[in-house]
Amino acid sequence: MSSTPKNMRVSPLTAESIDNGDGDSAQVMHERIAERAYWISQSEDAGSDEENWLKAEQELQAG
């Protein structure tokens, strides 16, 4: 799996957008973004790690 680009952090708004009731919503969202960024990195539309992360974050925020 991909990891967060070194200079990137999950935005608080993104992390709070999912609350599964167990208090780990930020970790869950981080893992979902990391997985999506990985799949983006394997596609023809791949960019830099940072671009892939931001694209994944935007896709997951949009629902």
Between 25-34, 39-48, 52-61, the lowest mean confidence (pLDDT) is in 25-34
- Which amino acid is present at 33? I
DSSP annotation string for the chain: -----TT----HHHHHT---SSS-HHHHHHHHHHHHHHHHHTSTT---HHHHHHHHHHHHHH-
pLDDT confidence band for 35 (50 / 70 / 90): very high
1, 35 in Cβ contact below 8 A? Answer: yes
Whether the predicted pLDDT of 10 surpasses 90: no
